[in-house]
Amino acid sequence: MIPLLSINNLTVSVGPKVLVNDVSFDVPEAKILAIAGGSGSGKTTIGLSILRLLPSALSIQGGSRIVFEGHDLLGLPEADMRRCRGARIGMVFQEPLSAFDPLFTIGQQLDEVLVAHTRLTKSGRYEKILQTLNEVELPDPKRAYVSFPHQLSGGMRQRAMIAQAMVGDPSLIIADEPTSSLDVTLQVKIMELFSKLRVKKNMTMVLIAHDLGMISHLADEVIICRAGQIVERGSVRQVIDSPQHEYTKALVEAFQ
Amino acid sequence: MGRKINSNSRTSLAFASFRRNRMGMICLWGLVILYAMAIFADFVSPYSYKDEERNFSYCPPTRIEFRDQGKWAAPFVYHYALTFDAMHRRVYVVDRSQKYPLHFFKGGRLWGVDAPGRFYWWGADARGRDLFSRIWYGARISLSIGLLGVGISFMLGLLIGGLAGFYGGWVDSVLMRICEMFMMLPGFYLMLALRAAVPENFNSVQVYFSVVVILAFIGWASLARIIRGMALSLRERDFVLAAKTMGVPDVVIIFKHILPQTISYSMATLMLTVSSYILAEAGLSVVGLGIQDPVPSWGNLLSDAMSIVPVLFAPWILLPGLFIFIAVMCFNVVGDALRDAFDPMFNE
């Protein structure tokens, strides 16, 4: 079976410095692949490379290929790439308070995604947004729709963020440290939400995290990154139960 | 958890801090009064701006009398008779034999006297037109030209600064070099040159709008640079990246997520720009290139005071200058107060 996303020889550099070095991996449909590693290991850079939204100083080197649904994203014209973002690939950020524009309500910002990608009518979009807000188990979707980001609690904001990533019905979701800004009890709830959504929506996901607890709970496969290189990969059980590389061992130890 | 609790936004904090600024508030009220007088010029002034009476050329300010032959009376004015002194200079003599009662709310005007009496509260100009009336009609032109000009400059500045700041790179370089070319030219001479390009046979409305366009054309560049600076920092914010990951088109990001954030900060600069536009219009009109007589603006009212003789014998024709001063000062003080109010360091 052809994987939904296949990254081949991805190399990203800033000037002479290489941030991501020759990274390759596949994400099969309906699977969750986790990218783990410490700060500065290039996890986030890999995530943003898929969407081609790296800061302008960073460049993806020739020879890299990111094949998604049969197209090489790196060869796509910018207009097609824009249509792909939000509609085919959704992204969940670490800190929802700064990822939402403080001047607009949650509803308005979710609406923006639907306006950009669908031809739904105003009421059609409203229904779709309420349905999505309901799916992420926000207690009062109608209230959340008219709330400004700062009016929601941290957990609710993160749910709204997940709703924003899902509202365009993308086939792939990239979640960049989706629980790092939350306290432990909320982390568990968001994790449970992801497990439910994955069953319900048959979700394919790239989960960027440093929290091995969450990875072991959610992911099918994991790759461990260090200084822009993959040091170990395999199924979650295999990597966590019997880590081979020194760095992985240290990570697992730190987690236990 | 009502929506009212969350009113401590940056903007409302800034306005609270602005309200504590005494000078700022006084000047804000000064502006409100000036604009109100301009809007209601038809009502507050006793004459129309073109109502002239040659027998009252440079008539001094009319005193409003309350006492008639030692007794209190309803306000009235005496007739001012034009005579010549031994040096053959014009002098006005109060003629106590002719009285004209001041009437109120007659013919849609706040006050005035019946013809042949004339009521010049702040004196008359060379053609016997009431300066008080002409100042308020002139305020309409002078005060609106600044706002309109800044409105257009601001739109251009937002658009060009927003594009330059959001895209950066070569777009930024090209747009900013164009801005710098405009800023490099000395403003007043550029204004004169542009004005020379406007056809001579324009009517007053056309002249008005050409002056607005000229002002806007000169001033947009510095606003664009300010907006560009803010856009450069705003585009690094997470919510801009988030909007990009959602595939929101660039135009929507610029207009919805970047430009609205710049407005509160650029308010202060806008106020300062309005005052410079008011001065620029006055400058153009003083040298006779702005608004043309009989339509008054503060600038062309002041052009009567360009030669020394009228100023010596009729010093009241300098009054429009006082109003230019007041308006410019008020805009500057309010602008400064707004800038302080929006500056978080200043508030602490």
Nearest CA-CA distance, residue A237 and chain B, Å: 32
Judge contact between A210 and A225, C-beta under 8 A: no
Both tokens assigned to A68: 């998604």
Chain A residues contacting B via beta carbons under 8 Å: 51, 53, 56, 82-87, 89-91, 93, 95, 98-104, 109, 112-113, 115-117, 148, 150-151, 164-165, 168
DSSP for B24-80, written as a single string? HHHHHHHHHHHHHHHHTHHHHSSS-TT---GGGTTPPPPPPEEEETTEEEEEEEEEE
E strand spans, chain B? 65-68, 71-84, 90-101, 103-106, 109-112
Residue A63, pLDDT above cutoff 90: no
Average pLDDT, chain B: 87
Residues B180-200 pLDDT 10s? 998 888 878 888 888 888 887
Residues of B in contact with A115 (CB under 8 A): 252
Residue A215, pLDDT above cutoff 60: yes
SS3 (DSSP) at A77: coil
- CB atoms near residue B95 (< 10 Å): 12
C-alpha A184/C-alpha A221 separation (Å) is: 23
**Does residue B116 have a cis peptide bond before it, meaning omega lies within 30 degrees of 0?**
yes
Cα dist from B345 to A38, B14, B17, B113, B271, whole Å: 36, 12, 12, 56, 21
C-alpha A26/C-alpha A4 separation (Å) is: 8
Residue A61 is classified by DSSP as P
Both tokens assigned to B212: 């607005």
Does the beta-carbon distance from B248 to A83 stay under 8 Å? no
ipTM, 2 dp: 0.89
Residue A4's pLDDT band (cuts 50, 70, 90): very high
SS3 (DSSP) at B128: coil
Judge contact between B238 and A99, C-beta under 8 A: yes
Of B1, B6, B244, the CB nearest to A53: B244
Does the beta-carbon distance from A103 to B169 stay under 8 Å? no
| Cβ-count burial A14-34 (b if 16+ within 10 Å, e if not) | eeeebbbbebebebeeebbbb
pTM of the model: 0.80
What's the pLDDT score for residue B5?
Answer: 42
Of A82, A95, A99, the CB nearest to B247: A82
Residues B106-140 pLDDT 10s? 888 888 888 788 888 998 988 889 999 999 999 99
Residue B266, pLDDT above cutoff 90: no
DSSP for A99-150, written as a single string? HS-TTS-HHHHHHHHHHHH----HHHHHHHHHHHHHHTT-S-HHHHHH--GG
Pairing of strands B103-106, A221-226: unpaired
What's the pLDDT score for residue B1?
Answer: 39
Residue B54, pLDDT above cutoff 60: yes
Judge contact between B1 and A151, C-beta under 8 A: yes
Residue A15's pLDDT band (cuts 50, 70, 90): confident
Residue A122, pLDDT above cutoff 90: yes
Residues A192-209 pLDDT 10s? 999 999 888 888 999 998
Of A82, A103, A148, the CB nearest to B260: A103
In chain B, what is the greatest distance between 2 CA atoms, to the nearest angstrom?
A: 88
Residues B143-190 pLDDT 10s? 999 899 999 999 999 999 999 999 988 999 999 999 999 888 887 888
End-to-end CA distance of chain A: 36
Both tokens assigned to B20: 């504590």
Does the beta-carbon distance from B246 to A56 stay under 8 Å? no
